A and B are shown apart, each in its own frame.
Chain A
Amino acid sequence: MINKRFFYLCAAAFLLGWFVLFSFLGGCQSNHNKDADSQSDAKDLSVQFSDSVHADYAEGFRITYQDDHKLLEILKPFQDRVDTLRYSLVPREIVDEVEVENTTEIPIPIKSLLATSTTHIALVEMLDAVDVITGMAGADYVYNEDIRKGIGSGDIASLPQGELNKEAVLAMGPDLLMVSGGQSSDFDNIRMLMDSDINVMVNSEWLETTPLGKAEWVKVLAALLNKETLTNKKFNAVADKYNRLQSKVDGVGEKPMVINNMPYKGAWFVSGGQSFTAQFLRDAGADYPWYDSDETGGLRKSFEVVYEIGLEADIWIHPGAAESKEDVLAKDSRFKDFKAFKTGEIYNNNRRMSLSGGNDFWESGVVHPEIVLADLIKIFHPQLLPDHKLHYYQKID
């Protein structure tokens, strides 16, 4: 029979050992960032950057212009985290001479981009630079005609949705791999690729809480592609139009009550009060039950809470993937009691879909919030925009 006390001691020592081992190993991992203490030589390397872009609406990035490089800072790469990823964008011709401390160096203009989200496509599309995309992960969700053709003909490498295929990425060897932060399951892959000298940039446009902030990430692409002048022109036009539309709504008295989304297994995720969708609803002059919550993502509500509101709500938007009233009823026959169902005021953002399931709302809609806003104003206050035809939205009949 083993001495009990001795055994407890052993077990405790064993656990402690594990813990110490891991903390120690965790602590002494070296930092992979370049610790170059050599500032760029005194040679005259200054490049005249012809024009500059700055973030006015977006909170997630900052671009500053130096003599020989542009400093791109991603201020909020992941949820709940205020920390900064720093990239130095250096003109190709002087890339060997310039080294900026504590940054990942990206030679510009980039010539090949591996995109992992349809948003990335929208950003380059707005800058007429679709040619730069040489690879796409999750091809099925693409709406853009040119990209789909390129994938079909094999000119654009197609990677499956889901875990990044590291071998395929290395074989492609793109100038830049753009990823959306937030998937910790992909960290290992990303780190391995960085160790193999693939430039990885975290694009966290999805954390922006305003439509214009989201669209403004086009400026990050502008800096990478040296297309600042064009970008300023195009983005300013979008922002002006958006703000003009928003001011149209200021005077309306009656605001329709809106509910959104579709329940799943008894849980109804609605948009939080600080979310991107709630911001659209505010700007389009809708009344919404959860404006007061400070959640930037989804809010979990029980079926009955939303059901009670739904009985009286004037308009229902984004009912899942529904394309007809039958689809809505097939989900749950209780929806026939909803006021919006009876009056036919149900709208979904899936008017522009590709056959394989790509939705243009999540593609060009990201850089054209002014069109999305016009759609919503047309839905909530048709009298304000009599001539506007719904572009991304359709009425569910």
Chain B
Amino acid sequence: MNRTADITPQHKTGIKPLYFVLLLVALTGLFLVNLALGSVDIPVKDIVHILLGGESTADAWQKIIINIRIPRAVTAIFAGCALSVGGLLMQTLFRNPLAGPSVLGITAGASLGVAIVMLAGGTITSIFAIQQLSAMGSWVIVIAASLGSAAVLLLILLISIKVRDNVTLLIIGLMIGNLTIALVSIWQYFSRPEQIQDYLIWTFGSLGGVPLDQLWILAVVSLIGGGIAMALSKPLNGLLLGENYARSMGLSVTGSRIWIIVSTSLLAGGITAFCGPIGFVGIAVPHLTRSLMGTNDHRVLIPATLLMGAILLLGCDIIAQVPGSTTTLPISAVTSMVGSPVVIWVIIQRKNLQASF
């Protein structure tokens, strides 16, 4: 008899496949709306024409769709998926509804990497500036962010072998995050105003900065992270019942914990490297998904969270583009502004939040 099946409340079975279909429809719909709206008005029939590989009536429209809107929409999907699943993993690992993908200091590590490059006298950035303009794209920033988050990850992993207790690990993670942020502040304090501005713009997050030829890396990283998460469904269900219980079921808690951290780091670190820090999605989406699906079973939650995260970020991106105007808003601000009220509402509706943890 499968013990995990006992302990996962199965409300509303039978509706779930329908929900998944609805989520998929919503995702496809939003994807198309995202392509259709932007600063420049492009008639829908031209967009369809371009998507089907035809020639557009205006050359600029074709470039806008192919070079700008498609990469941005696809980036939004990957970022939404990755951050949401990362958040779900952390919430389950720490049994804490406030945890998110950045809770272990992994995103702060990425920010530190970027700050070092952007603020360290500016020399490193400018050495690469030329290649960047011609061909390098933003590789320097991406590599710096990846190394930064990888360094923090390594530290956390070492600590997680030594420390058996998740609450201790959570506090250590938060402190490491604070330390890196403090380092960044000191660096900013001694930097030129224009460098600070540069770094500040990076911290707003951006979905539009990933060109087509870099997208596949984002995809590979997200898929590996997401794949590990899917494979962890059963241990995650076990962890919800407490570590001792999970051990008694024959789960290797330390092993699962390490894989959870690796997966989250890949997801959060990869996205932060390419898009900058995008807040909120990772904390909010797991709550929304739980309340929609009415279950704690990760075999359902993980795929649903993936879809939900992509939908939320696509929706936020549409708002951030302020369709029809040449103004755009920073994505991180929009995710928080749109998402916070939704989460407050959901949590008040549910009343028994603690029951999920």
Across the interface, do B39 and A167 meet the contact criterion of CB distance under 8 Å?
Answer: yes
State which of B125, B129, B161 has its C-beta within 8 Å of the C-beta of A4: B161
Question: Which residues of A have CB within 8 Å of B206?
Answer: 163, 188
Question: Which residues of A have CB within 8 Å of B213?
Answer: 29
- In the complex, residue of chain B having the shortest beta-carbon distance to the beta carbon of A172: B60
Question: Which residues of B have CB within 8 Å of A78?
Answer: 126, 129-130
Across the interface, do B326 and A182 meet the contact criterion of CB distance under 8 Å?
Answer: no
Task: Produce 1/0 per residue, A158-185, CB < 8 A to B.
Answer: 1110110111101101000000011111
Question: Which residues of B have CB within 8 Å of A77?
Answer: 129-130, 133
Interface of A is mostly: mixed
> Does residue A83 face the partner (Cβ distance < 8 Å to B)?
yes
In the complex, chain B residues 112-137 whose Cβ is within 8 Å of any chain A Cβ: 118, 121-123, 125-127, 129-130, 132-137
- In the complex, residue of chain A having the shortest beta-carbon distance to the beta carbon of B124: A80
Complex Cα gap A85–B197 (Å): 24
- In the complex, residue of chain A having the shortest beta-carbon distance to the beta carbon of B208: A166
Given that A11-B157, A188-B209 are known contacts, is A2 also in contact with B60, CB under 8 Å in the complex? no
User: Chain B nearest CB: distance from A342 CB in Å?
Assistant: 31
Across the interface, do A81 and B133 meet the contact criterion of CB distance under 8 Å?
Answer: no
Across the interface, do A81 and B129 meet the contact criterion of CB distance under 8 Å?
Answer: yes
> Does residue B141 face the partner (Cβ distance < 8 Å to A)?
yes
Complex Cα gap A194–B118 (Å): 23
> Does residue A333 face the partner (Cβ distance < 8 Å to B)?
no
Question: Which residues of A have CB within 8 Å of B190?
Answer: 300
User: Chain B nearest CB: distance from A384 CB in Å?
Assistant: 34
Q: How large is the interface on A (under 10, 10 to 19, 20 to 34, 35 or more residues)?
A: 35 or more
- In the complex, residue of chain B having the shortest beta-carbon distance to the beta carbon of A21: B217
Across the interface, do B67 and A196 meet the contact criterion of CB distance under 8 Å?
Answer: yes
Question: Which residues of A have CB within 8 Å of B69?
Answer: 167
Across the interface, do B138 and A188 meet the contact criterion of CB distance under 8 Å?
Answer: yes
Given that A2-B258, A297-B192 are known contacts, is A185 also in contact with B198, CB under 8 Å in the complex? yes
- In the complex, residue of chain A having the shortest beta-carbon distance to the beta carbon of B262: A14
User: Chain A nearest CB: distance from B311 CB in Å?
Assistant: 23
- In the complex, residue of chain A having the shortest beta-carbon distance to the beta carbon of B143: A22
Complex Cα gap A123–B143 (Å): 38
Complex Cα gap A183–B202 (Å): 11
Given that A11-B157, A81-B127 are known contacts, is A163 also in contact with B150, CB under 8 Å in the complex? no
Across the interface, do A187 and B147 meet the contact criterion of CB distance under 8 Å?
Answer: no
Given that A15-B150, A300-B190 are known contacts, is A81 also in contact with B67, CB under 8 Å in the complex? no
Across the interface, do A181 and B129 meet the contact criterion of CB distance under 8 Å?
Answer: yes
In the complex, chain A residues 1-19 whose Cβ is within 8 Å of any chain B Cβ: 1-2, 4, 7, 11, 14-15, 18-19
> Does residue B87 face the partner (Cβ distance < 8 Å to A)?
no
> Does residue A23 face the partner (Cβ distance < 8 Å to B)?
yes
User: Chain B nearest CB: distance from A340 CB in Å?
Assistant: 24
> Does residue B350 face the partner (Cβ distance < 8 Å to A)?
no
User: Chain B nearest CB: distance from A28 CB in Å?
Assistant: 10
User: Chain B nearest CB: distance from A266 CB in Å?
Assistant: 10
Task: Produce 1/0 per residue, B53-83, CB < 8 A to A.
Answer: 0000001110110011100000000000000
Question: Which residues of A have CB within 8 Å of B135?
Answer: 29-33
Question: Which residues of B have CB within 8 Å of A297?
Answer: 192
Complex Cα gap A297–B121 (Å): 12
Question: Which residues of B have CB within 8 Å of A191?
Answer: 132-133, 137, 211
State which of B122, B127, B134 has its C-beta within 8 Å of the C-beta of A33: B134
> Does residue A195 face the partner (Cβ distance < 8 Å to B)?
yes
Given that A22-B143, A32-B135, A185-B201 are known contacts, is A81 also in contact with B126, CB under 8 Å in the complex? yes
Question: Which residues of B have CB within 8 Å of A19?
Answer: 143, 147, 150
> Does residue A269 face the partner (Cβ distance < 8 Å to B)?
yes
Complex Cα gap A33–B68 (Å): 21
> Does residue B6 face the partner (Cβ distance < 8 Å to A)?
no
Question: Which residues of A have CB within 8 Å of B130?
Answer: 77-78, 81, 83, 85
Complex Cα gap A182–B147 (Å): 24
> Does residue B139 face the partner (Cβ distance < 8 Å to A)?
yes
Complex Cα gap A301–B256 (Å): 52
> Does residue B327 face the partner (Cβ distance < 8 Å to A)?
yes
> Does residue A377 face the partner (Cβ distance < 8 Å to B)?
no
State which of A26, A165, A187, A195 has its C-beta within 8 Å of the C-beta of B326: A165
- In the complex, residue of chain A having the shortest beta-carbon distance to the beta carbon of B138: A188
> Does residue B38 face the partner (Cβ distance < 8 Å to A)?
yes
> Does residue B14 face the partner (Cβ distance < 8 Å to A)?
no
Question: Which residues of B have CB within 8 Å of A188?
Answer: 137-138, 206, 208-211
- In the complex, residue of chain A having the shortest beta-carbon distance to the beta carbon of B121: A80
Interface of B is mostly: helix
> Does residue A190 face the partner (Cβ distance < 8 Å to B)?
yes
Given that A15-B154, A80-B122, A184-B125 are known contacts, is A31 also in contact with B258, CB under 8 Å in the complex? no
Complex Cα gap A188–B129 (Å): 11
Across the interface, do A195 and B154 meet the contact criterion of CB distance under 8 Å?
Answer: no
Across the interface, do A7 and B137 meet the contact criterion of CB distance under 8 Å?
Answer: no
> Does residue A25 face the partner (Cβ distance < 8 Å to B)?
yes
> Does residue B193 face the partner (Cβ distance < 8 Å to A)?
yes
Across the interface, do B254 and A171 meet the contact criterion of CB distance under 8 Å?
Answer: no
Task: Produce 1/0 per residue, B18-40, CB < 8 A to A.
Answer: 00000000000000000000111
> Does residue B96 face the partner (Cβ distance < 8 Å to A)?
no
Question: Which residues of B have CB within 8 Å of A33?
Answer: 134-135
Given that A33-B134, A167-B64 are known contacts, is A269 also in contact with B193, CB under 8 Å in the complex? yes
In the complex, chain A residues 290-321 whose Cβ is within 8 Å of any chain B Cβ: 297-298, 300
> Does residue B341 face the partner (Cβ distance < 8 Å to A)?
no
Complex Cα gap A197–B62 (Å): 12
User: Chain B nearest CB: distance from A1 CB in Å?
Assistant: 7
Complex Cα gap A185–B206 (Å): 10
Task: Produce 1/0 per residue, B233-251, CB < 8 A to A.
Answer: 0000000000000000000
> Does residue A189 face the partner (Cβ distance < 8 Å to B)?
yes
User: Chain A nearest CB: distance from B191 CB in Å?
Assistant: 9
Task: Produce 1/0 per residue, A187-206, CB < 8 A to B.
Answer: 11111101111000010000
Complex Cα gap A165–B255 (Å): 47
Given that A14-B262, A81-B129 are known contacts, is A298 also in contact with B192, CB under 8 Å in the complex? yes
Across the interface, do A25 and B217 meet the contact criterion of CB distance under 8 Å?
Answer: yes
Complex Cα gap A213–B125 (Å): 25
Across the interface, do B255 and A2 meet the contact criterion of CB distance under 8 Å?
Answer: yes
Beyond A165-B328, A168-B40, A192-B211: 4 further Cβ-contacts under 8 Å? A2-B252, A23-B143, A167-B40, A188-B209
Sorted nearest first, the 7 A-B pairs with minimum C-beta distance are A188-B209, A81-B126, A185-B201, A167-B39, A26-B139, A171-B40, A196-B63
Q: List 11 A-B contacts (CB under 8 A).
A: A4-B161, A26-B139, A80-B123, A83-B129, A184-B129, A188-B210, A189-B208, A195-B211, A196-B67, A197-B63, A269-B193
Interface residue ranges, A against B (CB under 8 Å): 1-2, 4, 7, 11, 14-15, 18-19, 21-23, 25-26, 29-33, 77-81, 83, 85, 158-160, 162-163, 165-168, 170-171, 173, 181-185, 187-192, 194-197, 202, 267, 269, 297-298, 300
